[in-house]
């Protein structure tokens, strides 16, 4: 029996792994930070024997509420990820699993590797509608990739979509894969029509360093990028710095920042109601956007979510608020669950990579629904 995590987005420390019935583990903190919650490791198992894996420091993680009613993901082939029995006692997270095969991967959510990210970028750039731009290097020297979809033109609406500021929220990049698959499908009517009047600026992974390092929430320097949008710096948050600069050059008419939420078992949107320049038009557009989503998929809902900011009380270091304020545009933080959609639960898979992709495709419909109103 052995446990390893030396691979892309791997994160675990082994305290004790002598008996399948008593495996003691701990999640590593993000570098230079106290955040931790993401885990991803490989177990070399005894097939047919129950392995009891206790994450001993679960109770002090960034979002202890995230462990309630949570089930860990497992995979034999790194393609199909299924849920395994998991319990949280307020202190420790206990995963129980009797593997059928000699090795199994476990993760907090279906991982999305940097190799797959590079494949996605190269696939996208081959579209005649897509231009691939390097924004600059991260602190670890990786590439900040921007995809520009649609021929830029002054009169077109500028739509920015960013994902995975928090690298442990891998569903955000699965979402982007679904979103891009549809946007670049030259026989998809909504996509084709959208590209006549809009240009999309897409950053599928805002935090490649944190992603590779197996972080939950920060970049290589331990910085939470989603608190850097008031004053990003090349030293601490180049990822945000580059994107905000590029936004400055293009302008922004609509912004969507894609995330995962550890605790709430729902998809939802958090708006920018607390931003000083928030106005009626934004509100109406936002309602229209939600209305389309509600009308086409039970994966979206508006009952559960974050508390709405009071007027003027928005945290302007947060991406969606900062962008909304700076560009006087509609902006949302979109949240997907780590757990499941409690309105449509799936005991075998929970919220999944596939459902994230489908939700990305559905969100394109919602953008289609408001596109013509963005600049009127």
Contact segment (CB under 8 A) with a copy of itself among 61-69, 275-283, 330-338, 339-347 equals: 339-347
Other beta carbons within 10 angstroms of residue 307's beta carbon come to: 6
Positions marked catalytic: 335
Cβ 188 to a copy of itself, closest distance in Å?
A: 6
304 binds, among Ca ion, a copy of itself, none (CB under 5 to 8 A by kind): none
Helix (H) or strand (E) run with residue 83 in it: strand 82-84
Residue positions counted in the chain? 376
Out of 133, 153, 234, 308, the only residue in the binding site for a copy of itself (CB under 8 A) is 133
Out of 44, 89, 306, 313, the only residue in the binding site for a copy of itself (CB under 8 A) is 44
Contact segment (CB under 5 A) with Ca ion among 130-138, 224-232, 336-344, 359-367 equals: 130-138
The answer to whether 173 contacts a copy of itself (rule: CB under 8 A) is: no
89 binds, among a copy of itself, Ca ion, none (CB under 5 to 8 A by kind): none
The answer to whether 126 contacts a copy of itself (rule: CB under 8 A) is: yes
**Residues between 221 and 280 that touch a copy of itself (CB under 8 A):** none
Which residues of 155-216 form beta strands (DSSP E)? 157-163, 198-203
Out of 52, 63, 76, 92, the only residue in the binding site for a copy of itself (CB under 8 A) is 76
The answer to whether 187 contacts a copy of itself (rule: CB under 8 A) is: yes
- How far apart are alpha carbons 28 and 214 in whole angstroms? 9
Contact segment (CB under 8 A) with a copy of itself among 124-132, 198-206, 214-222, 270-278 equals: 124-132
**Please, is 47 exposed, middle or buried when counting C-beta atoms within 10 Å of its C-beta (0-12, 13-18, 19+)?**
exposed
Closest CA to 150 of 202, 205, 206: 202
Out of 24, 31, 56, 365, the only residue in the binding site for a copy of itself (CB under 8 A) is 365
Residue placing its CB nearer to a copy of itself in the complex, 68 or 193? 193
The answer to whether 184 contacts Ca ion (rule: CB under 5 A) is: no
Cβ 297 to a copy of itself, closest distance in Å?
A: 5
Token pair for residue 126? Answer: 């081959």
Give me the residue label for tokens 């974050």. 306
The answer to whether 137 contacts a copy of itself (rule: CB under 8 A) is: yes
Contact segment (CB under 8 A) with a copy of itself among 119-127, 171-179, 253-261, 279-287 equals: 119-127
**Which residues, 6+ apart, have CB-to-CB distance to 133 below 8 Å?**
145, 146, 147, 148
Task: Output the furthest CA–CA distance in the chain (Å, rounded).
Answer: 66
Provide φ and ψ at 322, rounded to 5°: -60, -45
368 binds, among Ca ion, a copy of itself, none (CB under 5 to 8 A by kind): a copy of itself
> Is the CB of residue 72 less than 8 Å from the CB of residue 95?
yes
Out of 53, 72, 121, 130, the only residue in the binding site for Ca ion (CB under 5 A) is 130
Provide φ and ψ at 64, rounded to 5°: -55, -30
Residue placing its CB nearer to a copy of itself in the complex, 161 or 212? 212
**Please, is 152 exposed, middle or buried when counting C-beta atoms within 10 Å of its C-beta (0-12, 13-18, 19+)?**
exposed
Residue placing its CB nearer to Ca ion in the complex, 47 or 251? 47
The answer to whether 80 contacts a copy of itself (rule: CB under 8 A) is: no
The answer to whether 141 contacts a copy of itself (rule: CB under 8 A) is: yes
The answer to whether 376 contacts a copy of itself (rule: CB under 8 A) is: no
Go through 359-372 and write b for each residue having 16 or more CB atoms within 10 A of its CB, e for each that does not. bbbbbbbbbbbbbe
């Amino acid at each position: 029996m052995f446990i390893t995590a030396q691979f892309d987005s791997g994160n675990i420390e082994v305290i004790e792994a002598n008996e399948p019935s008593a495996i003691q583990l701990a999640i590593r903190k993000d570098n230079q930070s106290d955040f931790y919650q993401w885990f991803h490791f490989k177990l070399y198992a005894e097939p047919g024997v129950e392995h009891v894996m206790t994450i001993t420091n679960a109770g002090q993680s960034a979002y202890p509420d995230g462990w309630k009613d949570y089930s860990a993901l497992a995979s034999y082939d790194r393609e199909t990820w299924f849920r395994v029995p998991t319990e949280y006692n307020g202190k420790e997270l206990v995963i129980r699993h009797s593997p059928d095969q000699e090795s199994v991967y476990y993760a907090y959510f279906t991982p999305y590797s940097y190799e797959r990210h590079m494949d996605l970028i190269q696939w996208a750039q081959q579209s005649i509608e897509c231009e691939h731009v390097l924004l600059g290097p991260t602190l670890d020297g990786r590439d900040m990739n921007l995809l520009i979809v649609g021929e830029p033109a002054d009169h077109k609406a500028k739509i920015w979509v960013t994902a995975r500021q928090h690298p442990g929220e891998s569903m955000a990049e699965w979402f982007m894969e679904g979103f891009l698959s549809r946007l670049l499908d030259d026989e998809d009517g909504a996509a084709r029509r959208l590209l006549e009047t809009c240009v999309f600026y897409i950053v599928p992974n805002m935090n490649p360093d944190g992603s590779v390092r197996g972080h939950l929430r920060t970049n290589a320097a331990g910085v939470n990028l989603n608190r850097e949008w008031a004053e990003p710096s090349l030293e601490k948050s180049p990822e945000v710095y580059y994107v905000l600069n590029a936004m400055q050059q293009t302008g922004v008419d609509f912004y969507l920042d894609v995330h995962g939420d550890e605790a709430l078992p729902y998809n939802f949107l958090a708006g920018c109601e607390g931003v000083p320049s928030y106005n009626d038009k934004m509100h109406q557009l936002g309602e229209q956007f939600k209305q389309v989503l509600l009308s086409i998929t039970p994966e979206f809902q508006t009952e559960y979510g974050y508390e709405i900011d009071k007027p003027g009380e928005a945290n302007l270091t947060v991406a969606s608020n900062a962008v909304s304020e700076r560009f006087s545009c509609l902006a949302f933080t979109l949240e997907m669950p780590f757990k499941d959609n409690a309105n449509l639960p799936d005991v075998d898979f929970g919220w999944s990579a596939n459902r994230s992709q489908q939700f990305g495709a559905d969100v394109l419909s919602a953008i289609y629904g408001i596109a013509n109103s963005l600049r009127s």
